[in-house]
Structure 1
Amino acid sequence: MDAHAILTAQGWRGKGHTLHPTSDSTGLTHHLLMKRNDDGSGLGSKKGDHKAEAWWLNAFDQALKGIDTKSGTMKQTLKGGALEKITSRGAAGKYTGTRGLYSSFVRGGVMEGTVGLNMVTGLPTPPDSGAGTPEACASVDGKETKEERRARREAKKLRKAGRQARKEAEERAARKVEKKKAKKAERERIKAGETKEERRARREARRKRKEEKRRLKAASGG
């Protein structure tokens, strides 16, 4: 990557000049100096290094510890904390304003999107151009071919068969519901007119049927 060419394209005046578009009094005229690592130790070799760099985390932690909730409301008791120093008027001037840090940056251009462009020609596609996805099976001179006619008839036959199957399933379900209702009504009628002896005999017969089913199931190994 050619950093010099990229910065020049963004408005940099070249070596020996700051990033400011017109004045060298704002910003640095030399590159950022990096600390040399001569001992070969990597990140995390010293305890507390990661905490020392996380100044924003320490600032927020300090502000949270200064919140008092004993009175039922949240009240900040910390005065002159790190966050307050950062957001104060004097500190903010370091970053904003005509001589602030952010004024040294050059505003770049805006990348245009590809929505509405013809990906082949790169030109905008008019709404009435008719350009779009071609049909999977185009007809010759607008006439339906034998293959298209056969496929259309086959699709129609499948739709008709599907409708018939759904209709039959609905009819079976309706008959099943009616049958259950009739059985329930018959049981209610029998219960209403039977005596104690008949009710006892009916329950005994039902118990015997259940026992017979269990015996047959056990005999078949199921």
Structure 2
Amino acid sequence: MTGWRSARAILIWVALALAIGVPIAAAATSEQLAWRGPVYILAGFAGIIALGLVLVQPLLIGGYLPPLSAYRGRRAHHWIGGALAFAVLIHVAGLWITSPPDMIDALTFSSPTPFSPFGVTAMWAIFIVALLASLRRRLELRPRTWRIIHIPLAIVIVAGSVVHCLLIEGTMETISKAVLCAAILAATIKAMIDLQVWRKRRELRGESAARQ
């Protein structure tokens, strides 16, 4: 049984590494990089890394990355969220440096490119979650209140990031990009379903204990 758990843990981590690493490696071999400057390339890869971190987040909060305990998973979720916000900041700052007019159009939702509004919406949701997470203790947000705020924003982040990525025709390779986006959606849906089930079980146990 222990051997199976170890093998399963290895397979999970290998699958995660491939889901994130293959799109990055494929983008690194793109012919389009020859026409891009270093700042633009940095911004692009920061965006790809941010997308990979979006996949890691539901896996951590759902407890799907052994051998991390529930507590360590939540702590890692917190720190990865900060890394995600930082990667998005680099992505946006790099694009601003290379083309301020395009970024102004994107941030004001007046860009003609169809992928821009989805990316900007996801960006603001990421920044809001990061800000609230850093102020959570000061604001004295209860777990229930935090979930009510965090879950809708997480849905916006996932949906916006996936659509933004799929609509862009850039350095990312099509198939590996689609697989990564599908993995993000699957992991997010599973985590939300499982966490909702666990919460209902705890509520039922609490009601049963109160009756006794």
TM-score normalised by L of structure 2: 0.21
Structure with bigger helix share is: 2
Q: Specify the structure having the higher radius of gyration (Cα).
A: 1
Q: Which has the higher contact order (CA 8 A, sep 6+)?
A: 2
